[in-house]
Structure 1
Amino acid sequence: MKKYYFWFCLLFATLAMAQEENQNLRNFEAKVVNAQTDRPLQNVHIINLTQVIGAITDKKGDFNIPAAVNDTLFFSYLGFKSQKIRVTNDMFKYGDTKIAMTELAYALEEVVVKPYNLTGYLEIDVKNIPINTAYQYQIAGLSKGYEAGSKNPSAVTKVLGAIMNPADLLRNLFGKKPRQMRKLTKVKQDDHIRDLLASKFDRETLEELLQLEKVDIEDILNNCNYSKSFIRTANDLQILDAISKCYEEFKVLNRDK
């Protein structure tokens, strides 16, 4: 009886905390402008990192997003420096909040274009075309393929090792920040965040969302047997889906531990 009472109290406390958190959420409204010209910026992506909710500015640079005091908002816009702000009581009290974003100064480097030097002879041209080394292996009984990175006998061993004992490779990585990893589900449910990640390749937004360093993200994907080619060329949304799949497999394998 005591056991059931304990779980009932725990459930009640969790629901009460969730309800209190939702009650603290208010509609936060503000405007995003160019710091140099004071003109409004359209299509700026805003993410409430605390609540994992996304929004986007309209033609006038205005946006609204559910937020509570002390929530952290992350602003991202192509060609401008990303920034974070902390929501305060004064922002709700006085309104008319204006967020100024600064343009980035890019130094254009010399671009060297290297042609394939095709000759018109098939046997020669085939050797000059670059080859994608992101090989995948499909194993009977499993619904997905595994990338191994190179086509050699050790690649197959690497795949089998990931299936037989992936928990040892990932326990330290996922175990350090389980709360951030649980954000993956909420991130995937928000269309604004998914649209932003689909357009980005720099991992900056993922670092802020998951509170992981870029090197940690690469370590996770390496230990999940994703190829260097995939890690280098995938957009942030593809990287997020890859981490999510790997994390779900990790939870299943560690359910009884």
Structure 2
Amino acid sequence: MKIKDLPFLLAVLTFGLGFSQDISERELSGRVIANEKNVADVHVMNTSLRKATITNESGQFRISVRVGDTLLFSAIQFRRRSFIISQEIYDARVIAVPLEEFVNELDEVVLRPYDLSGDLGRDMQQIDTEGVVSATILGLPNPYHKPPTQAERKLFEATTGGGLVPLNPILNAITGRTKYLKKVLKAQSIYARTERVREFYADSLFVQRLKIPSASIDDFMYYCEVDPDFSGVIDSKDQLQIWEFLKVKSSSYREANALD
């Protein structure tokens, strides 16, 4: 072999090694299994390839692997688990991974002062507790009266004069300020209902179940607010009824905004 042919052979060999290395890497489909535990958002890491992913709501995941790679599974509610990709797993291309629940066992604490036994139920009965300080106990007037909001106070002042000569109600009626304040109070009431809905359901439910883009959730809620039935449904505090209402409105919202 001539020396001048050596660079060419080295280039061919390097290309062949790189090509075979790419072929040896393939996608592995898997599923995390646990007894009555949430298997979503479990971190799956290929520490050899420095690649990672997370499981979906069903515990399923996909990640690139090679024979001999190490997979690490990590989540707050589970014990960490790792194993090496064998030839059998590599050839099968699928895997089921059972995870064990993580229980954070605290060190034993012995309570000695105040004649405590350590039995919470027994100790609670022996401890003298004072009543909760409230407006009723203090004898304050109107103990069950809910403080008015800023919008309610402004509307009261606009319609009564705030205890002064009742000239404000006349001026406010002429200028339209009273009507404006009533609209503000109504808008705040509706907004408070919207906030309750957002507390009930995570944004992921709007995106995955109702098919509403994350950037359009606020606009969708405004679309729901203008429905005459909105206030009554939300005030029912029946989450099933509220969810059915949102499902119906999401269908018409997607159609109106060409999201389907």
**Pairwise same-fold verdict (TM > 0.5):** no
Normalising by structure 2, we get a TM-score of 0.35
Greater relative contact order structure (CA < 8 Å, 6+ sep): 1
Normalising by structure 1, we get a TM-score of 0.36
